[in-house]
Amino acid sequence: MPAISMKVNGKAVSGNVENRTLLVDFIRTNLGLTGTHVGCDTSQCGACVVHIDGKAVKSCTTLAVACEGASVTTIEGIAKNGTLHPMQQAFHENHGLQCGFCTPGMIMASIDIVKRNGKKVSEEVIRRELSQNICRCTGYHNIVAAVQSAAEKM
Amino acid sequence: MSDTGIGARVLRKEDKRFITGKGQYTDDINLKDQTYAYFVRSPHAHATIKAINTAKAKKMPGVVDIFTSKEVEEDKIGGLICGWMIHSKDGSGMKAGPHPILASGKVRFVGDQVAVVIAETREQAKAAAQAVAVSYGVLPHNVDAGQAMKTKAQVHDVASDNRVYNWSIGDEAATDAAFRSAAHVTKLDLINNRLIPNAMETRAAIGSYDTGSEHYTLYTTSQNPHVARLVISAFHGLAPEHKLRVIAPDVGGGFGSKIFIYGEEVTCVWASKRIGGRPVKWTADRSEAFLSDAHGRDHVSHAELAMDASGKIVGLKVHTIASMGAYLSTFSSCVPTYLYATLLSGQYDIPNIYAEVDAVYTNTAPVDAYRGAGRPEATYLLERIVETAARELKIDPAEFRRRNFITQFPHQTPVIFCYDAGDYGAALDKALELSDYRNFASRKAASAKNGKLRGVGFSAYIEACGIAPSAAVGSLGAGVGLWESAEVRVNAVGTVEVLTGSHSHGQGHETTFAQLVSERLGVDINNVAIVHGDTDKVQMGMGTYGSRSGAVGMTAISKALDKIEAKAKRVAAAVMEASTDDIDFKDGTFTVKGTDKKMAFGEVALASYVGHKFNSSEIEIGLKETSFHDPSNFVFPAGVHICEVEVDTETGLTKIASYTAVDDFGTIINPMIVEGQVQGGVAQGIGQALLEGAHYDRDSGQLLTGSYMDYNMPKAANMPHIENFKLGFTFTKCPSNPLGMKGCGEAGAIAAPPAVINAITNALGVRDIAMPATPLTVWNAMQPMKRAAE
């Protein structure tokens, strides 16, 4: 089994994985970071979104070995010194989550949307880009409101 | 109102763990030395199992063991049950076929589990499952509810025409007489499309057997862990209740699909003992979830509505064929009967109703309660035919509804329910105002200029939730009572723990239940903990479904709080040397009437446990109370939803231009959470109307919509923009519980489908359109008009 090493949430990590091991399994099983979820098997629900070198990626469709040397950020790594990331805070304040299962992926995807589209990102763009993430509880209403609210503060 | 009490928009206490990735869902839990299960599933819709050869698979790397129905039968593990007995018109009981946890002799739908492979890793279990050789004798199959009673494909020996029951409600002769004297009759054939619930967390389980204490533990994705424990103990015969702990930790959505007891979860508990006590973990793939979770809806109906010359409804006749799938799931039998036909009066004063329901077996996944359960089917049928009747009679659909609204309460319908309170006209008025109905014509003209067809649709729904009382549901065939329990434990320092039999899987109970305690005891909301989902902590409960946790679950807490207050008053009286009758309790402080003596709640709590200041032979030490609340009636939330759509005439694409929801939920504990429930419910309703539909191939019996590539889940882009989604509330107090609460969890999913379809048919000027109204369906519906125009 190949040995891999990468940075996850700013910490150097390493492990031995099979060639076929997915990044999400490496994160959940090897590292015990269970905030990143698996909600489908066709790369559509987005519950598994993490950042690789600053870009949102579905970790269920990424091989762990392909991330050798990369810098990976998961939902556990975005609060700084006990202060929530503005996107986390906005999801809380706007009631942008109910069961919470899709939430980590939603937050990670939303941070990327704002980074790429700026503070003035339109509702139209948020809705179009968030269509890579599925939520069954909220009807997206408050998620969109949360992203708009966080965009102003990021 | 305090800033954390009843009616306050309190931000959720449970959020932090979810937004920081610290939630603990079943698949996040790993037990020492655990193994992994993977199920071998039937590739055929209907077949005999001729032989299962596991020899090759057992030699695969990492395989611990493989089990089939042979081992299940050796250990005498009972089959899955359906907990609601329905009797046919002729008095005979429903025809329940056997439902073993692993298929025995025959498979009855694609995905039926045939064997389980236990291995050291999930990948090894999956690889070995592919090597299990099952020899099938393929049988004729049927996936279509409408064909079930005509087909040669007999699913169960016990039901020769595939009919589970032929049930009826209402007075047939009186209804026929009303139709004979009617001035106008509207007829409609409707299909309520089959849906797949799709909670974002798939089902999962970890079964664990301790060989020393002979005690079982099951971690599982359940909406009602106590019922799971009861069924696994009493019917599967695995372990008596005191030897089985069921834990439903954080659960990632349910929508009904996690109410039920499934074979996979039971198998994990049983298999753990069979392999010598190592834990067995199973997490469904999304593909497995599509195949094996209980689906929803799937009705084929014919309805007739009779009106007199003044446009007053005088009668309703309905015949429905309801697919049960291949087996009767836990509560499936009550969905198209007592949760469906009892709602056919809607918000209307209809003097005569007769409904007949044929529940049928098909070679498909079992069908059971999905958000709304029976009530969306009733509302879709009634609101589609009412809208159609208004159009035929050329009466404005709002006016037609108003003319027929029930205005006097209590109101006894001809289909069991006695509505206790409501003001349907008020909700309609508010919805008309919020949606700016009077200016619809100008918006329609503006849409037309952009080449779009605009339509408006109404839905005036009623829902019966908080299913109750236990004696009443028992007389209708329910195998369990539908009460709820609560235990309130006040700690010596004055903090409070509430143990509830309700289960939160997105509803926000940790916040709303704490708001009730904060309001009643004056305790800081952060000093209240809500404990649920563990049968070792909470003694017994009925779980969360049917929008019952407010009206039933919180009432149980409220009653326990009454007892806490009464006991605390006695303690306070003893300590302050006063009569209990002279003690007042307000905002967390006990005072003695006419004096300046007072004690804070925390001081009384401490005094209750210290026990120095009162005679413990008269007042028992401690401050802990329990209540089991059995409601005296169902609760009846209702509302009016208005949808406007814009249809692109070139592509057939329907956009929700605006959506207005006005609901009467009685007392609202936390408006923020209630609005979230409405928004989420409406999204599922829009999903049913425009996007979602489970489709089995008639020829092969295969599920064609088996992944998110084929089953179209609602996405952010499908929903109305924030400014175009308007919510409003009206209020009538529910008289059957002290808090005056109704229920809000299912309203959106119930109300939305007819509102959307009424809007599309209004836009297109057609009589009906099938759900889901995909661009292709809508485009096809427009072609006759286009040809006529050319």
Look at residue B557 and give its three-state secondary structure.
helix
Rounded to a whole number of angstroms, the CA Rg of chain A reads 15
Whether residue B519 is found in the same domain as residue B458: no
Reported confidence tier of residue B481, pLDDT bands at 50, 70, 90:
confident
Whether residue B640 is found in the same domain as residue B625: no
Nearest CA of chain A to the CA of B741: how many Å? 21
pLDDT over 60 at B600, yes or no: yes
Residues B697, B704: contact at Cβ < 8 Å? Answer: yes
Nearest CA of chain B to the CA of A44: how many Å? 7
What confidence tens digit (pLDDT) does each residue in B30-88 have? Answer: 999 999 999 999 999 999 999 999 999 999 999 999 999 999 999 999 999 999 999 99
Query: CB distance from B717 to chain A under 8 Å?
Result: yes
Reported confidence tier of residue B494, pLDDT bands at 50, 70, 90:
very high
Reported confidence tier of residue B738, pLDDT bands at 50, 70, 90:
very high
The whole-number pLDDT of residue B401 equals 98
Query: CB distance from A21 to chain B under 8 Å?
Result: no
Nearest CA of chain B to the CA of A104: how many Å? 6
Whether residue B614 is found in the same domain as residue B515: yes
What confidence tens digit (pLDDT) does each residue in A113-132 have? Answer: 999 999 999 999 999 999 99
Nearest chain A residue (CA) to B286 = A40
Tokens at A127, concatenated: 């809705």
- The minimal CB distance from A44 to the residues B23, B682, B708 is found for B708
pLDDT > 70 in chain A, percent:
100
Looking at B283, B317, B335, which one is the last position of a domain?
B283
Whether residue B588 is found in the same domain as residue B677: no
The whole-number pLDDT of residue B422 equals 97
Q: What average pLDDT does this structure show over B236-243?
A: 90
Query: CB distance from B707 to chain A under 8 Å?
Result: yes
For B756, phi then psi, to 5°, come to: -70, -45
Q: What average pLDDT does this structure show over B631-655?
A: 96
The whole-number pLDDT of residue A1 equals 84
What confidence tens digit (pLDDT) does each residue in B175-198 have? Answer: 999 999 999 999 999 999 999 999
Q: What is the CATH number of the domain that holds B47?
A: 3.90.1170.50
Residue B163 Cα distances to A143, B82, B92, B479, angstroms:
45, 16, 12, 21
Sign (positive or negative) of CA dihedral A91, A96, A99, A105: negative
Residues B502, B543: contact at Cβ < 8 Å? Answer: yes
Reported confidence tier of residue B229, pLDDT bands at 50, 70, 90:
very high
Nearest CA of chain A to the CA of B202: how many Å? 7
The whole-number pLDDT of residue B786 equals 79
Range with lowest mean pLDDT among A103-107, B429-433, B627-631, B678-682: B627-631
Query: Are A131 and B717 within 8 A, CB to CB?
Result: yes
pLDDT over 90 at B471, yes or no: no
Tokens at B158, concatenated: 């016990």
CATH for A86-153 is 1.10.150.120
The whole-number pLDDT of residue B470 equals 87
Q: What average pLDDT does this structure show over B243-266?
A: 97
The whole-number pLDDT of residue B546 equals 87
Residue B38's nearest CA partner among B247, B271, B363, B294 is: B271
Q: List CB contacts (< 8 A) between A128 and chain B.
A: 716-717
Residues B38, B114: contact at Cβ < 8 Å? Answer: no
What confidence tens digit (pLDDT) does each residue in B270-295 have? Answer: 999 999 999 999 999 999 999 999 99
CB neighbour list of residue B726: distance below 8 Å, 6 or more residues apart: B434, B435, B658, B659, B660, B661
Q: Give alpha helix (H) positions in B393-469.
A: 397-404, 424-434, 440-449
Nearest CA of chain B to the CA of A1: how many Å? 15
Reported confidence tier of residue B479, pLDDT bands at 50, 70, 90:
confident
Taking the C-alpha atoms of residue B777 and residue B769, their distance in angstroms, rounded to an integer, is 8
Nearest chain B residue (CA) to A86 = B19
Nearest CA of chain B to the CA of A101: how many Å? 5
Q: In a mutagenesis test of the B interface, which of A16, A30, A135, A137 is the best target, namely the one with the most B β-carbons within 10 Å?
A: A137
- The minimal CB distance from A76 to the residues B20, B199, B713 is found for B20
pLDDT > 70 in chain B, percent:
100
* Residue type at B767 in one-letter notation: R
Inside any domain, residue B294: no
Q: In a mutagenesis test of the B interface, which of A40, A113, A125 is the best target, namely the one with the most B β-carbons within 10 Å?
A: A40
Whether residue B309 is found in the same domain as residue B273: no
Query: CB distance from A152 to chain B under 8 Å?
Result: no
Inside any domain, residue B177: no
Q: What average pLDDT does this structure show over B251-259?
A: 96
Nearest CA of chain A to the CA of B121: how many Å? 11
Reported confidence tier of residue A3, pLDDT bands at 50, 70, 90:
very high
Q: List CB contacts (< 8 A) between A127 and chain B.
A: 715-717, 719, 721
Residue B24 Cα distances to A34, B250, B736, angstroms:
8, 5, 36
pLDDT over 90 at B785, yes or no: no
Whether residue B275 is found in the same domain as residue B303: no
pLDDT over 80 at B1, yes or no: no
The whole-number pLDDT of residue B189 equals 98
The whole-number pLDDT of residue B790 equals 74
- The minimal CB distance from A139 to the residues B12, B673, B719 is found for B719
The whole-number pLDDT of residue B480 equals 84
Q: What average pLDDT does this structure show over B549-558?
A: 93
Tokens at B684, concatenated: 């599922």
Query: Are A101 and B713 within 8 A, CB to CB?
Result: no
Q: List CB contacts (< 8 A) between A92 and chain B.
A: 11-12, 15-16, 19
What confidence tens digit (pLDDT) does each residue in B508-523 have? Answer: 999 999 999 999 999 9
Whether residue B697 is found in the same domain as residue B767: yes
pLDDT over 80 at B156, yes or no: yes
Whether residue B730 is found in the same domain as residue B759: yes
DSSP per-residue codes, A70-130: -EEE-GGGSSBTTBPPHHHHHHHHTT--SS-SSHHHHHHHHHHHHHHH-TT--HHHHHHHG
The whole-number pLDDT of residue B693 equals 98
The whole-number pLDDT of residue B596 equals 96
Residue A91 Cα distances to A135, A140, B18, B168, B217, angstroms:
13, 11, 10, 48, 34
Residue A151 Cα distances to A26, A83, A86, B306, angstroms:
31, 17, 8, 55
Residue B458's nearest CA partner among B374, B393, B399, B371 is: B399
pLDDT over 60 at B571, yes or no: yes
Q: What average pLDDT does this structure show over B371-377?
A: 97
Query: Are B11 and A130 within 8 A, CB to CB?
Result: no
Whether residue B683 is found in the same domain as residue B761: yes
The whole-number pLDDT of residue B473 equals 87
Q: Which residue has the higher pLDDT, B18 or B466?
A: B18
Taking the C-alpha atoms of residue A19 and residue A21, their distance in angstroms, rounded to an integer, is 6
Range with lowest mean pLDDT among A54-63, B136-145, B464-473: B464-473
Nearest chain B residue (CA) to A145 = B722
CB neighbour list of residue B145: distance below 8 Å, 6 or more residues apart: B298, B299, B300, B321, B322, B323, B360, B362
Nearest chain B residue (CA) to A78 = B20
Whether residue B560 is found in the same domain as residue B615: yes
The whole-number pLDDT of residue B468 equals 76
Give me the residue spans of the domains in chain A.
Answer: 3-76, 86-153
Whether residue B509 is found in the same domain as residue B455: no
User: Model ipTM?
Assistant: 0.98
pLDDT > 90 in chain B, percent:
95
Looking at B584, B600, B629, which one is the last position of a domain?
B629
Residues B493, B632: contact at Cβ < 8 Å? Answer: no
The CATH architecture one would assign to domain A3-76 is Roll (3.10)
Which structural domain, as residue segments, surrounds residue B664? 299-467+633-789
Prior bond of B772 cis (ω within 30°): yes
Query: CB distance from A117 to chain B under 8 Å?
Result: no
Inside any domain, residue B65: yes
Whether residue B101 is found in the same domain as residue B229: yes
Looking at B595, B629, B663, which one is the last position of a domain?
B629
Residues B393, B311: contact at Cβ < 8 Å? Answer: yes
Tokens at B8, concatenated: 């306050």
CA dihedral of residues B53, B59, B65, B69 (deg, nearest 10): 0
The whole-number pLDDT of residue B466 equals 85
CB–CB contacts below 8 A, A to B:
172
Query: Total structural domains in chain B?
Result: 3
Q: In a mutagenesis test of the B interface, which of A98, A130, A135 is the best target, namely the one with the most B β-carbons within 10 Å?
A: A98
The whole-number pLDDT of residue B771 equals 98
Residues A76, A13: contact at Cβ < 8 Å? Answer: no
The whole-number pLDDT of residue B784 equals 87
Q: What average pLDDT does this structure show over B122-129?
A: 97
What confidence tens digit (pLDDT) does each residue in B421-448 have? Answer: 999 999 999 999 999 999 999 999 999 9
Q: List CB contacts (< 8 A) between A28 and chain B.
A: 28
Inside any domain, residue B157: no
- The minimal CB distance from B19 to the residues A42, A84, A126 is found for A84
Q: List CB contacts (< 8 A) between B25 and chain A.
A: 34, 37, 101
Query: CB distance from B312 to chain A under 8 Å?
Result: no
Inside any domain, residue B211: yes
DSSP per-residue codes, B575-590: HTT--GGGEEEETTEE
Query: CB distance from A135 to chain B under 8 Å?
Result: yes
Q: List CB contacts (< 8 A) between B250 and chain A.
A: 99-100
- The minimal CB distance from B719 to the residues A41, A92, A141 is found for A141
